[in-house]
């Protein structure tokens, strides 16, 4: 927690100096006021000197205005600094997550990462805002008021040696119980977000299987678990403030009782007793204010630990120390050399001994049964995963030796689940080519067989797209995703089962239209439908992670039983010929 704040407060040293200076001035003023009040009582009221009362009272007014002004400006600077820390922390966390490979994303999980970048950062930010004021003023005020109280009357100050330890023990006993509960709360907030996210994204499946009641119970259980933990924390702190107020009130009674005896005995002036009471309140209020910080500390510390977990992650995939220079012109030859890949913790590799070459101007199709490793193989090309053995090369250079930005710039990826961003159709199409003209967008839409439905929209290219493309159909999403890749005009096209939501007629028109714009590019296509890939220049057949056939449709029908089984499961013998 301390290290995290120190790192993010470092750029704001000038503001911190201003905050400390203002708060020190505020504390000095607050400590001076009871002394002036005692002076008025002892030397003004006792002597009946109205002029003295007016002069010292006027000086008290000036000091009070200074205290108020410094408090306002100090809070302004501390709030601005804390908000800046929150902003920087969110940005750093976001940039860190952007470097993660799919491995880290799967390990941490999207719901948890969202919670950490929102709720956890908010907890640290709130703690920083309070700490920048209270953690400076409270200790200074407590120490200063303690010594000023001794200055007023030494024997009476012995009461502080009893009162302050009682408050510290009381606060400490509650904090020991609260810290683990705050950590548990953050985990349970993650659980709430996970259940909520699954329900929002899987609403169709839930309703189709009539599982609404079950999901309501699952959410209710997670919600009740969080509520129970939160109530346990609140019960602890519900005891804290009344207990502290009881200590303060009993302390005031004790001071008035013992101090009254000393005043009656002539051992202490009345003004000094009033000042002592004021300093006692300053000491106790400082302890209470510090308690507020301690109340926030456990939750902020738990949030800080979770943020550090993300910031400390070393991505499995990163740029090389000295990357290969960016190529002036990427041709797009993709080569797999005896590639093996296994997921962390898996007993067996997903891919084994994969070797092939996909050349520019050719379409290389990948087909196989479910779970044969088709999508995994495709994900190795843009380094969404790294091979565990062998090498993947683009234009003769190992993808691990190139800067990822350079590699990605040469690839147009259309994922299995087409994803669109909130904005407009034009925004989504320009995602990989911000400078593309409207003419280029329409040309890409024509090729992707999406121009007709876009023209039918009243806003055309400026038609709004909701998050994830929720306001368009699955087929429309796929066509827009394909058009987005076409606008980029990459050297390597990667279609990961990107035609599955299209009807056969649209699929055929799209494949025919793709020949011209991709004639200079390397095209990799993963497909389940044989009709989509039967005319490919090269077909790779995967079976349980192994390459069992490479060739054209005709040669594979003759030589590869696995391919023949797949084809005949979809087409008749006459259609397959």
Q: For residue range 525-548, what is the model confidence (pLDDT) as tens digits?
A: 988 888 888 888 899 999 888 988
- Two tokens, residue 260: 């009254």
pLDDT at 337: 93
Q: For residue range 121-133, what is the model confidence (pLDDT) as tens digits?
A: 888 888 888 888 8
Please give the Cα distance from 526 to 367 (Å, whole number): 6
Please give the Cα distance from 432 to 99 (Å, whole number): 18
- Two tokens, residue 288: 């209470």
Q: For residue range 438-476, what is the model confidence (pLDDT) as tens digits?
A: 999 999 999 988 888 899 988 889 999 888 788 888 888
The helix/strand/coil state of 337 is: strand
Please give the Cα distance from 259 to 255 (Å, whole number): 5
Confidence of residue 564 (pLDDT cuts 50, 70, 90): confident
Residue predicted with more confidence, 82 or 40: 82
Identify whether the C-beta of residue 330 lies closer than 8 Å to the C-beta of residue 379. no
- Average pLDDT (220-242) is 85
Confidence of residue 48 (pLDDT cuts 50, 70, 90): low
Inter-residue long-range contacts of 88-93, CB under 8 Å, 24+ positions, other chains counted: 88/8, 88/11, 89/4, 89/8, 89/121, 89/124, 89/125, 89/307, 90/117, 90/121, 92/8, 92/311, 93/117, 93/121, 93/307, 93/310, 93/311
Identify whether the C-beta of residue 280 lies closer than 8 Å to the C-beta of residue 168. no
- Average pLDDT (227-248) is 82
pLDDT at 47: 64
Largest CA-CA distance found in the chain, in angstroms, rounded: 121
Task: Calculate the average pLDDT of the chain.
Answer: 84
Please give the Cα distance from 382 to 403 (Å, whole number): 11
* CATH fold of the domain at 2-311: ABC transporter transmembrane region fold (1.20.1560)
- Average pLDDT (373-401) is 89
Please give the Cα distance from 135 to 83 (Å, whole number): 17
- Two tokens, residue 143: 């120490």
- Two tokens, residue 217: 């119970």
Q: For residue range 477-490, what is the model confidence (pLDDT) as tens digits?
A: 888 999 999 998 88
Residue predicted with more confidence, 155 or 495: 495
pLDDT at 443: 92
Domain residue limits, the chain: 2-311, 334-576
Q: For residue range 252-275, what is the model confidence (pLDDT) as tens digits?
A: 888 888 888 877 877 778 888 888
Strand partners, 336: 356, 392
Q: For residue range 329-360, what is the model confidence (pLDDT) as tens digits?
A: 678 889 999 999 988 777 788 899 999 999 99
The helix/strand/coil state of 464 is: strand
- Average pLDDT (498-509) is 80
Q: Please determine, for residue 577, whether its predicted confidence score (pLDDT) is greater than 70.
A: no
pLDDT at 575: 64
pLDDT at 328: 66
What b/e readout covers 478-491, taking b as 16+ CB neighbours within 10 angstroms?
Answer: bbbbbbbbbbbbbb
> CB within 8 A of 397, min separation 6: which ones?
324, 327
- Average pLDDT (288-310) is 79
Domain covering 334-576: architecture:
3-Layer(aba) Sandwich (3.40)
pLDDT at 426: 92
Identify whether the C-beta of residue 552 lies closer than 8 Å to the C-beta of residue 365. no
């Amino acid at each position: 927690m301390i290290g995290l704040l120190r790192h993010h407060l470092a750029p704001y040293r000038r503001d911190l100096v201003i905050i400390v200076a203002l708060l020190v001035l505020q504390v000095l003023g607050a400590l001076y006021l009871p002394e002036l009040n005692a002076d008025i009582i002892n030397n003004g009221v006792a002597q009946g000197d109205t002029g003295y009362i007016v002069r010292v009272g006027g000086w008290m007014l000036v000091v009070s205005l200074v205290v108020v002004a410094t408090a306002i400006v100090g809070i302004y600077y501390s709030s601005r600094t804390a908000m800046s820390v929150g902003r920087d922390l969110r940005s750093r966390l976001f940039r860190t997550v952007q470097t993660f490979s799919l491995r880290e994303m799967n390990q941490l999980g999207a719901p948890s990462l969202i919670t950490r970048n929102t709720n956890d950062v908010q907890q640290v930010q709130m703690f920083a805002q309070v700490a920048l004021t209270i953690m400076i003023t409270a200790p200074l005020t407590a120490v200063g008021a303690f010594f000023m109280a001794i200055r007023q009357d030494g024997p009476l100050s012995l009461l502080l040696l009893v009162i302050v330890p009682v408050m510290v023990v009381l606060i400490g006993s509650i904090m020991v119980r609260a810290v683990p509960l705050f950590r548990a709360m953050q985990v349970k907030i993650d659980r709430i977000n996970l259940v909520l996210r699954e329900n929002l994204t899987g609403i169709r499946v839930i309703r189709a299987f009539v599982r609404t009641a079950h999901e309501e119970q699952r959410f209710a259980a997670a919600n009740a678990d969080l509520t129970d933990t939160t109530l346990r924390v609140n019960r602890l702190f519900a005891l804290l403030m009344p207990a502290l107020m009881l200590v303060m009130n009993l302390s005031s009674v004790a001071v008035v009782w013992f101090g009254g005896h000393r005043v009656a005995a002539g051992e202490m002036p009345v003004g000094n007793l009033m000042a002592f009471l004021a300093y006692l309140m300053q000491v106790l209020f400082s302890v209470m204010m510090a308690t507020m910080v301690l109340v926030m500390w456990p939750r902020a510390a738990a949030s800080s630990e979770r943020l550090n977990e993300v910031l400390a992650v070393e991505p499995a995939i990163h740029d090389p120390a000295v990357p290969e220079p960016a190529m002036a012109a990427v041709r797009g030859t993709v080569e797999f050399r005896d590639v093996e890949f296994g997921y962390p913790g898996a007993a067996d590799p997903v891919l084994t001994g994969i070797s092939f070459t996909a050349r520019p101007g050719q379409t290389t199709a990948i087909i196989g049964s479910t779970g044969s490793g088709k999508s995994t193989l495709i994900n190795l090309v843009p380094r969404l995963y790294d091979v565990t053995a062998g090498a993947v090369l683009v234009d003769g250079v190992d993808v691990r030796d190139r800067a990822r930005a350079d590699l990605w710039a040469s690839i147009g990826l259309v994922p299995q689940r087409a994803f669109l961003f909130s904005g407009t159709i034009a925004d989504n199409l320009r995602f990989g080519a911000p400078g593309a003209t409207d003419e280029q967008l329409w040309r890409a839409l024509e090729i992707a067989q999406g121009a007709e439905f876009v023209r039918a929209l009243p806003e055309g290219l400026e038609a709004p797209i909701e998050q994830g493309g929720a306001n368009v159909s699955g087929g429309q999403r796929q066509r827009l995703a394909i058009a987005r890749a076409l606008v980029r005009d990459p050297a390597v096209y990667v279609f990961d089962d990107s035609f599955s939501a299209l009807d056969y007629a649209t699929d055929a028109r799209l494949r025919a239209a793709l020949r011209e714009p991709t004639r200079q590019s390397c095209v990799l296509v993963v497909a389940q439908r044989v009709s989509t890939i039967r005319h490919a220049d090269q077909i790779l057949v995967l079976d349980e992670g192994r390459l069992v056939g490479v060739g054209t449709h005709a040669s594979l029908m003759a030589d590869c039983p696995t391919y023949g089984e797949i084809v005949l499961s979809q087409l008749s013998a006459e259609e397959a010929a």
